[in-house]
Amino acid sequence: MHHTDLPAQDRGGATDLLVHGGDVLTVDASGTVVRDGAVAVRDGRIIEVGPAERLRAAYEPAEELDARGCLVMPGLINTHTHLAMTLFRGIADDVTLQGFLARVIPAEAERLSPETVTAGIRGAIAESVRGGVTAALDMYWFHEAAEVVAREAGWRLLTGPTFMDVPGPPDGRPYADRLGWAAADLAARTPAPGTRPVVFAHSAYTLVPEQLTAIGALAREHGALLHLHAAENAGEVEMVAEQHGMRPVELLDSLGLLGPDTLLAHAVDLTDAEIATLARTGTAVAHCPVSNLKLGCGIARVPELLDAGVTVGLGTDGAVSSNTLDLLGAVKMAALVHKAGGDPTAVGAEQAVRMATVESARALGLGDQLGSLEAGKRADLIVLDLSRPHLTPRHDPWSMLAYAATSGDVRDTVVDGRILMRDRTLVTMDEQRALRALRDAAASAAPVPASTTGTSEVASTV
């Protein structure tokens, strides 16, 4: 079962890790669940998924995870976030997007540095690993610092240079120097398995069309994913329409920037024609339901996007607009919020779980490497403890994950075959030290006071 990708000689024998004894939710195309199953891992890849009894007899693992009484599933993939915004958690609540920007932009410009971003990302990775998130697409300043921390922790981070033409950027790099800097950054990379280069263009309201075109060309030249905010709320759409005579998706389409290597964050305020455009071009969407609700942006038209064939992944956004990096919480919100229109089938439990796993992987262009437990894919998986009252009895794993499970149910987290959390203890990071550093950095990065009702012509990486 599930070993068709690998020749027989690769199965059995010595292996690095065997996770065995739980129910394995593979999230493959058929939604296969292997009762009392096991996952064998070698060199960071899944070698085989099958019955625990058979795999335990066939493999001699260097390390084991006993998953009896648990659910084994693919790690969750956060397709849109700003991880080091953990520094500012709680400083901009109960405000509109514009009020949010008025608070956050000055705080970022004044307080961000490689040191504060290092502290912010370390806390964010600890939070993510605890919540079963094994990979994230992170748009933020000082991405080089974030990469060092992720590498030390063994966590899968997709990041890269960010473009945003604002006065006094936190990194102090003039916009005129950014293309050359980004080109050198991308040229120096050899993407690890399960990752790819990424170029971040903040939005159509912080970059002019000529800049967007140049950034898009840079991304294509390096085979990079292009990630942008687009149509987050009606105010943004109006601003872009006033500036350029077109709505954000229309503008990006006219510039040739949509396509299978482009991922749009939010995409809340879309017309029918724009949904058709995203489907026609193969552009993916990162749906951030918690952030969209908290900022009063609205509810993205996810059922219509799915019906049109658009790939929709799931994201948390940053810890200022969503306040946590809890992707399992976003799964529940995605399964619930679209029912508000009166159709309880709008986004079902299985669809919501797939959005946080295999559909998120597809949205990143990594569907062949991540997002499901199948032979040949990277070994990113999590183990959920099912012994809790709120998970008893268990009739259906999709329902349980979407409507009952919480991030606190995650017991073990594995990335690339390496155990990052065992029995709820982080093993590749000093968690208490990371949290102390985050508290210290947040104290030194306390935000400058700002009106909650002000508006801004530019946006933070929100």
pLDDT, tens digit (0-9, with 9 covering 90-100), for 301-323: 999 999 999 999 999 999 999 99
| Beta carbons of 447 and 103 less than 8 angstroms apart | yes
Q: Decide if pLDDT at 230 tops 90.
A: yes
pLDDT at res. 167:
86
| CA atoms of 130 and 420, how far apart (whole Å) | 9
**Confidence (pLDDT) at 325:** 98
Does 4 have pLDDT greater than 80? no
Q: Where are the alpha helices (DSSP H) in 112-174?
A: 114-130, 143-153
Average pLDDT over every residue of 406-424 = 98
DSSP state of 329: H
116-147 confidence digits (pLDDT tens): 999 999 999 999 999 999 999 999 999 999 99
Assess whether pLDDT exceeds 70 at residue 356. yes
pLDDT at residue 24 is higher than 50: yes
* Section 68-79 average pLDDT: 98
* pLDDT score at 455: 36
Q: Summarize the confidence of residues 37-64 as an average pLDDT.
A: 98
CA distance 338 to 341: 6
Higher pLDDT, 372 or 451: 372
Q: What are residue 162's DSSP bridge partners?
A: 200
Q: Which CATH number fits domain 76-363: 3.20.20.140, 3.40.630.30, 3.30.70.1290, 2.40.10.120?
A: 3.20.20.140
**pLDDT at residue 228 greater than cutoff 60:** yes
Stretch 325-347: mean pLDDT, rounded? 97
For residue 8, is pLDDT > 60? no
| Cβ-contact 459, 229 below 8 angstroms | yes
Q: What is the pLDDT of residue 75?
A: 99
Give the residue-averaged pLDDT of 3-13. Answer: 60
Which residues are CB-contacts of 426 (< 8 A; sequence separation ≥ 6)?
Answer: 126, 129, 130, 420
Report how far residue 15's alpha carbon sits from residue 191's, in angstroms, rounded to the nearest whole number: 25
Q: Is pLDDT of 331 > 70?
A: yes
Q: Is 272 exposed, middle or buried (0-12, 13-18, 19+ CB in 10 A)?
A: exposed
Place of tokens 């058979």: 54
Is 90 exceeded by the pLDDT of residue 12? no
Mean pLDDT over each residue of the chain, to the nearest integer: 94
At residue 458 the predicted structure's pLDDT band, cuts being 50, 70 and 90, is: very low
Q: How confident is the model at residue 7 (pLDDT cuts 50, 70, 90)?
A: low
Between the CA of residue 99 and those of 53, 203, 381, what are the distances in Å? 57, 18, 38
Q: Any idea what the Cα angle at residue 397 is, between residues 393 and 400, rounded to 5°? A: 60
Q: Are 216 and 257 in contact (CB under 8 A)?
A: yes
pLDDT at residue 422 in the model:
98
Q: How far apart are CA 411 and CA 424, in angstroms?
A: 5
Average of per-residue pLDDT across 427-454: 77
pLDDT, one tens digit per residue, over 155-200 is 999 999 999 998 889 999 999 999 999 999 999 989 999 999 999 9
Of 3, 42, 10, nearest to 26 by C-alpha is 3
pLDDT at position 308, please? Answer: 98
Looking at residues 414-423, what average pLDDT do you find? 98
The 10s digit of each residue's pLDDT in 75-125 is 999 999 999 999 999 999 999 887 888 899 889 998 999 999 999 999 999
CB 227, CB 201: distance < 8 Å? yes
The radius of gyration of the chain from alpha carbons, rounded to an integer in Å, stands at: 21
This prediction has a pTM of 0.95
Contact present, 444 and 117 (Cβ < 8 Å): no
d(CA 233, CA 287): 13
Name the residue with tokens 């109006």. 238
List, in order, residues 6 or more apart from 72 with CB less than 8 Å away: 19, 22, 23, 24, 25, 37, 39, 373, 381, 382, 383
Written as one string, the DSSP assignment of 378-442 is B--EEEEE--SGGG-S-S-HHHIIIII--GGGEEEEEETTEEEEETTEESSS-HHHHHHHHHHHH
What is the per-residue pLDDT for 193? 94
Does the pLDDT of residue 28 top 80, yes or no? yes
Q: Give the model's pLDDT for residue 11.
A: 75
The Cα 288–Cα 291 span in angstroms is 6
Confidence of residue 457 (pLDDT cuts 50, 70, 90): very low
Give the list of residues 6+ apart from residue 366 with CB closer than 8 angstroms, or none.
Answer: 194, 195, 196
Which DSSP letter does residue 109 get?
H
| Orientation angle between helical segments 175-187 and 209-221, nearest 10 degrees | 10
Cα–Cα distance, 251 to 242 (Å, whole number)? 12
Q: How does pLDDT run across 255-281, given as a tens digit for each residue?
A: 999 999 999 999 999 999 999 999 999
- Show Cβ contacts of residue 43 under 8 Å, excluding neighbours closer than 6 positions: 16, 417
CA distances from 440 to 87, 116, 264, 445 (A): 10, 9, 34, 9
Please give the full DSSP string across 44-60, using - where no structure is assigned. Answer: TEEEEEEEHHHHHHHEE
Distance CA 103, CA 446 (A): 11
Q: pLDDT tens for residues 236-249?
A: 999 999 999 999 99
pLDDT of residue 99: 87
User: Is a pLDDT exceeding 60 seen at residue 2?
Assistant: no
- Say what the pLDDT of residue 456 is: 36
Count of alpha carbons within 13 Å of 345, Cβ hemisphere only?
1
